[in-house]
Chains A and B, each alone.
Chain A
Amino acid sequence: MLAADHRDCTNPLWPCAMTGAVACLAGLEDLAVVVHGSSGCYFYPASLIGREIHGTFLLEREVIFGTEPRLREVIEELRGRYGTIAVVNTCVPAIMGEDLQSMLDDHDVLVVDSPGFIGDFERGYRRALARTEPAVDPSFCGVNIDGVTLADPFHHGNALEARRLLGLTGASVGTTFCLDRYAAVHRAALFTVGTNPDLASGVGEWCGSLLGLDTVIETFETLASVCTGVDARPVFREVARAEQRIEKACSKYLRRFDPPRTAIFSEFAYAAFAAETLERYLDVEIACIGSRNEVRDSGFPAEQVTDFTRIRDMLLAAEPDLILGSSYERTVLPGAAFVGLTPPVRGRVLLRSRPLAGVEGTLWLMDEVLNACMDRRRRGSRAADGDR
């Protein structure tokens, strides 16, 4: 049946709900994650998230005769090695309609029904997180960190930066969703700050995001007002110093060059943060934002897009000097300055942890943008020298 609003998708650039669910759960230690499906469904999230996960690696005969024996076989083998086992369902067993939870009633297994066809990465992430049934410990006056996912190249840097900032203020760090022990999910702290609001956990009282310097200040003001013992002044001082350094570097750049016309492609929260930061400090014109997920009101020209053909059209029409996005976007305009904001970032070695959130995150963004723009100008100068 062809629905009027159905659109096929050329070179889809964003992972499916199953991958989102796996990325969420695999960040929790002591929790085995089993992809219940084919080897093809296993290999992609396994390569994306870089943590040990498991699979049932279904074969055709199991689709015909039922998957229960195979699922039990895998679970039995994992039993004893992990505190809890989570099974993430994929498309084919979901279509078969087996009731996995009933099948496994005699096992302590968390079944997450998140087949790829239900939607995108974020949907699967949220569904998996909800399935873990997070709970707040009302006696724990600390601060959770959320928005962390193994699929994000900034996940480790963001978690470290958030913990550092909380430590500066004397706040107790609660649960990191999802980069923590599984047990920590069930005794979360009263308050929460986010490193990526697109993946907000909904656990604890939301105190704000850590994306952007102004937002960091607002968030710590809130924390200081609700959370006993939090002294936000060290963070405010650090923000002021960072802002001074950024303004000095940007002023120097703008004495020589015009601001880069900029196109941004990423999850919406990261895109909005980057757009606001670049507009504020470098007076850039945001030519377009292509959001991998649902768009919210931002004041910037933004649309949700995961179709590579549409992204190519947007980039060719925008003619940006600077692209923030994934290496997919880089291939369209290889001559533009490029900053890797969105997975995948191929063709570059990324070993150390990079934050996008917090004070260090904004400094990182501005470092990368200014250096990329200056490198592009140097490349242009060298090419012109070569022509002469």
Chain B
Amino acid sequence: MNSNPSPSNSSRFEGCTLTGALSVVTQVRDAVCVIHGPSGCAHHNFSLLHATLADSDGVGVPRLISTALTENHIIFGGEEVLEACIARALELSPPPASIFVLSTCVVETIGDDVGAVCAREWGVPVIPVQTAGFLGGVFQTGIVNALLAAASCADGAPGDAGGVNLVGEKNLEADVDENQAEVARLLGMLGLQVRLRFVRDVRTRDLARLAGAAVNVLREPALLPVGEALRQRFGTPYVDSFPVGLSGTLRFLEEVAGVCGVDGSAAVEHEAAIQEGVLARFADLAGSRVAFDRVHPMLDGDAAAIGVCSELAEALDLVVDPEGTRLPAPYPAPVGTAGIRRMLHRWRRLIRGRERAR
């Protein structure tokens, strides 16, 4: 984001429900997403998803079909167009294993009954996702609604049991796979494996594995409604966030160990030693004057991220001073010890740059 909107009312800047939802359901690789609205809405989102895939060396392009509503449909209604579009999606090669139908604010305004069209017998799951641009909530609402919609593909009969589901990874963030690797590393220290990335790079049939996990690890506390819904439906307990901060990472190990009934003390001790090593590598920063900035004027500070900054400032003996080197508070907070290490490299670059400029 490189713009400066106005006036200042941050509650308005939380993004489009449709984009949030697409960031989830486009990760079901054998699905097709039908976007019921003008083609511009689909283009905006396809462009964003394409950019993200290109930057993360992702493979494959999500299949989005726009109903491409025009002025006529807006006047006379678009349900017939939606029906034809779903039928065409089913004719694509390879045929989709599922279809997610997402609406837009235009459709919400004209009042099409998307749910009724999806409820017809189509031969594969045709799942409406509650999205209506800004009329349906914000970006995060779209993520929550999409996760709940995707969960409807899980049948509750797990086959096998155990393992850990990662719920609601931020698929648009550049380091999503590095964060997953860090969580998998920590879980591995407890003898646990990732069972399902819900939802990242999966097929429709994989979603059935949502049931039967030992624990669901939510990406962030904003996904509590999802964690709670899955707990009620499948009886799976949840941990409400990926590990954040030095002490938070150790607490994460303890919490997961407790939920899964394993002894986590050795893992905690080992991780604490790793953290000491990381801090030693950045000991040269001691005494540096720093100030923490919001990452963007449009974004409120992330409390977890600010907590990480304060913790690291203390651990590294940094001096927080409004005149110090401006360090952007991370958004979102770095995940685990590895996330902190990568962030400290960025901090050191900025601090040294400021020193050189003097």
Contacts and interface: CB of A to CB of B under 8 A. Distances in A.
A267 to B, nearest CB: 15
B74 A8 contact: no
B43 A12 contact: yes
A77 B134 CA distance: 23
B61 A11 contact: yes
A9 B84 CA distance: 12
Interface in A283-323: 306, 308-309
B7 A40 contact: no
Nearest to A78: B6
A63 to B, nearest CB: 6
Contacts of A242: none
B81 interface: yes
Interface in A1-51: 1-3, 6-19, 38-44, 46-48, 50-51
Nearest to B17: A40
A154 B61 CA distance: 26
B232 interface: no
Interface stretch (B45-53, B122-130, B259-267): B45-53
Interface in B42-90: 42-44, 46-48, 50-51, 54-55, 61-74, 76-77, 80-81, 84-85, 88
Given A15-B40, A47-B2, A77 B7 contact: yes
B43 A8 contact: no
Nearest to A57: B12
Interface size range of chain A in the complex: 35 or more
A135 interface: no
A50 B2 contact: yes
Contacts of B3: 42, 46, 51-54
A48 B4 CA distance: 14
B54 A39 contact: no
A59 interface: yes
A347 B40 CA distance: 23
Interface stretch (B104-112, B143-151, B161-169, B272-280): B104-112
Nearest to B104: A91
B106 A1 contact: no
B133 A77 contact: no
A255 to B, nearest CB: 36
B66 A12 contact: yes
Interface size range of chain B in the complex: 35 or more
Contact of B12 (A12, A18, A59): A59
Contact of B80 (A2, A50, A92): A2
Contact of B65 (A9, A43, A346): A9
A18 to B, nearest CB: 7
B44 to A, nearest CB: 4
B218 interface: no
A210 interface: no
Contacts of B18: 40
B44 A6 contact: no
Contact of B64 (A3, A10, A78, A331): A10
B39 A16 contact: yes
Interface string B184-201: 000000000000000000
A96 B17 CA distance: 20
Nearest to B2: A50
Contacts of B330: none
B9 A57 contact: yes
22 contacts: A1-B77, A8-B66, A9-B66, A9-B68, A10-B65, A10-B92, A11-B63, A12-B42, A16-B43, A38-B16, A39-B16, A41-B16, A44-B48, A46-B2, A60-B135, A63-B109, A74-B7, A96-B109, A116-B38, A117-B38, A327-B54, A347-B55
Interface of B: 1-7, 9, 12-19, 37-44, 46-48, 50-51, 54-55, 61-74, 76-77, 80-81, 84-85, 88, 92, 105-106, 109-110, 133-135, 138
4 closest A-B pairs (Cβ-Cβ)?
A: A16-B40, A40-B16, A116-B40, A57-B12
